[in-house]
Amino acid sequence: MVMEKAWSFGLVLLWFSTLSCYLVNAADDKNGGFGASFIFGDSLVDAGNNNYLPTLSRANIPPNGIDFKASGGNPTGRYTNGRTIGDIVGEELGVPNYAVPYLAPNSTGKALLYGVNYASGGGGIMNATGRIFVNRLGLDIQIDFFNNTRKQFDKLLGSSKAKDYISKRSIFSVTIGANDFLNNYLLPVLSIGARISETPDDFVDDMINHLSDQLTRLYKLDARKFVIGNVGPIGCIPYQKTINQLNENECVDLANKLAMQYNGRLKELLTELNGKLKGAIFVHANVYDLVMELITNYAKYGFTTASEACCGNGGQYAGIIPCGPTSSMCQDRDKHVFWDPYHPSEAANLIIARQLLDGSTKYISPVNLKQLRNL
């Protein structure tokens, strides 16, 4: 009887070991040795998590997704007409499937091996950010969810293989911070009290301290390869230009100054973490300068406007009411830098993503994403 139990237990171990090897090897065959893409952030990279939340911030309505080939042009919850930067980067790095939204029913089992998307429209570094939308996933909650995924990887691959897969072969991207200004500190009426009690310096300090703790949490969960995007020129988006009644070549000074102040501190933080967290590499993605280049020299990149939203309503730049079924929509979607009042078009996302993948240290440092994958 003892021999039979030992034999059965041995078979179970052999089966589990064989299965974990099969899963890793299957993933290897499809993505050339690259592991998973874990995506954290806000609506710039949300792939549909907000579809599963009772929230005022949703993009699962047409014409969003009209150029997203994988869905046949149907909306998926992405806040653009096609692919997000995260989608494009994953494709170019060799991931065969888009990172599945964490809250989607199919975010289980083998699908996790290609990556998980935790990003949420309206989410921010600070927990109070985005409360105007009622529900959203802030970065703290997104990391809580990754903690659940981390445990699932142990069950899928075994603890040793799971740790290697996550720490040596997977990339963690974080695209967040804009909502902390647009839908928190700068929000009309709701933020007046906060702005009286907290100076811009203090607010940025809070953001950086909170982000430092959040990135350290991911490190403790075996994340090692990070790419962190700074905040783009939020004073130049169609929404800001419209409500402030600006000319085409003008931007809102305060919003951009806050973004640049945060970005300076972010770069310092990543340098500090690179020195402090052994074995980790934090790559800085200079989204601000990259998007500002597109806005300033849009014609050079084949665009006809960097001010007007392709899909939206209200004001000079269609920048007040978000994209939806009743919105006006341009026909030349690949000629607009902005898809809606807040978010880039797929055409703009493609240019941004390619710079992050192959670009110089002007936009991505100390290495680009293809170099990061191969480390």
3 state SS of 107? coil
Percent of the chain scoring above 70 in pLDDT: 89
Which residues on adjacent β-strands are paired with residue 338? 344
Q: How many residues in total does the chain contain?
A: 375
Strand order in the sheet with 225-229: 100-101, 115-117, 37-41, 171-175, 225-229, 281-285, 364-365
Task: Give phi and psi for 57, each to the nearest 5.
Answer: -105, 100
What would the two tokens of residue 192 be?
């007046």
Summarised one tens digit per residue, pLDDT across range 319-361 is: 999 999 999 999 999 999 999 999 999 999 999 999 999 999 9
Mean pLDDT, range 109-119, rounded to an integer:
96
Summarised one tens digit per residue, pLDDT across range 188-221 is: 655 555 666 789 999 999 999 999 999 999 999 9
Give ∠ CA 331-251-130 in degrees, rounded to 5: 80
Instruction: Look at residues 223, 203, 294, 293 and name the one whose alpha carbon lies nearest to residue 40.
Output: 223
Q: Which of 72-76, 199-203, 218-222, 287-291 has the lowest mean pLDDT?
A: 199-203
Q: Distance (Å, rounded) from C-alpha 365 to C-alpha 92?
A: 18
Of 282 and 191, which is predicted with more confidence? 282
Number of neighbours of residue 29 by Cβ within 10 angstroms = 10
Number of neighbours of residue 146 by Cβ within 10 angstroms = 21
Q: Which CATH number does 37-285 carry?
A: 3.40.50
Q: Distance (Å, rounded) from C-alpha 98 to C-alpha 272?
A: 32
Cβ–Cβ under 8 Å, residues 180 and 207? yes
At residue 19 the predicted structure's pLDDT band, cuts being 50, 70 and 90, is very low
At residue 14 the predicted structure's pLDDT band, cuts being 50, 70 and 90, is very low
Question: What pLDDT sits at residue 4?
Answer: 45
The set of catalytic residues is 43, 340, 343
Domain range annotation of the chain: 37-285
Cβ–Cβ under 8 Å, residues 118 and 48? no
| pLDDT higher than 70, residue 256 | yes
At residue 167 the predicted structure's pLDDT band, cuts being 50, 70 and 90, is very high
Cβ–Cβ under 8 Å, residues 289 and 309? no
Mean pLDDT, range 49-75, rounded to an integer:
97
Mean pLDDT, range 51-78, rounded to an integer:
98
